[in-house]
Amino acid sequence: MSKPIIGITTTTTLRRKYPAIYGTNRPYAGAVLRAGGLPLLIPNDLTNRDLDLLLAHLDGVLFTGGYDIDPARYGHPPHPNIEKPDAERDRVEIYLVQGLVQSGQPFFGICRGCQVINVALGGNLYEHLPDQLPGNLHLENHDKPRDYLAHSVNILEDTRLAEIISPGETWVNSLHHQGVRRLAGGLIVTATSPDGLVEAFELPGHPFALAVQWHPEELQAQEAMRNLFDAFVQACQPIKTV
């Protein structure tokens, strides 16, 4: 059986004395590899035409975590707690999301990836949860291990996410200060946290269009989180032709 090629979005790291670096945390690629996919990092200086050509060779795209989306992308003013917006990354990822929806190719969003999918399809965000969400329980937790289980989420019945993990309560890590405020039209909520924040959503009718706010790539010791990547990579398997 051939292995599907999974594009993985990247963060651009600027360095004063050296060229910029495109990259992402190793667990993303590791989780894709373990599930049977071939990860391919996507740089942020591709033109839209380049991205169209790339999509023709990819079997799916994983939208990774990272710094904040520019609030101007969803019509909000700047917030003092916005972290390192990257206009080129925003452009690349928004273009990819819209192309994947149109083409029907599978995609999976994690943390920032969850947020950018929502923005690309017309939704908006809380720029800083501690200021804007009453009863907020989300902390960035960067002083703790990345597999620290910070809070529970409730996975809703009769959703793709429930089919993959199972409905009901699941404990997850939490490494973000932003989140979905208004969900884009066409998307449905598939999990929420006790403070009411959208923790996962999906696009009904699409072969695989799912996003989670937590970091399952850092929780691969859990069967449920491995199942997320297994389901994604399985959905990306190239269709055999006779």
Query: What is the enclosing helix (H) or strand (E) of 198?
Result: strand 198-202
Query: Is 57 annotated as catalytic?
Result: no
Q: Which one from 138, 151, 176, 215 is the annotated catalytic residue?
A: 215
Task: With beta carbons less than 8 A apart as the criterion, state whether 86 and 20 touch.
Answer: no
Task: With beta carbons less than 8 A apart as the criterion, state whether 235 and 208 touch.
Answer: yes
Rounded Cα gap, residues 81 and 149, in angstroms:
24
Coil, helix or strand at residue 190: strand
CA distances from 223 to 90, 210, 228, 229, 230 (A): 32, 18, 9, 10, 10
Query: Is 217 annotated as catalytic?
Result: yes
Give the CB-side neighbour count of residue 180, counting CA atoms within 13 A: 36
Q: Which one from 111, 127, 128, 151 is the annotated catalytic residue?
A: 111
Query: Is 93 annotated as catalytic?
Result: no
Q: Which one from 127, 199, 217, 218 is the annotated catalytic residue?
A: 217
Reference 180, options 231, 233, 232, 111; nearest CA is: 111
Q: Find residue 5's DSSP bridge partners.
A: 38
The C-alpha angle 122, 123, 126, rounded to 5 degrees, equals 150
Active site residues: 111, 215, 217
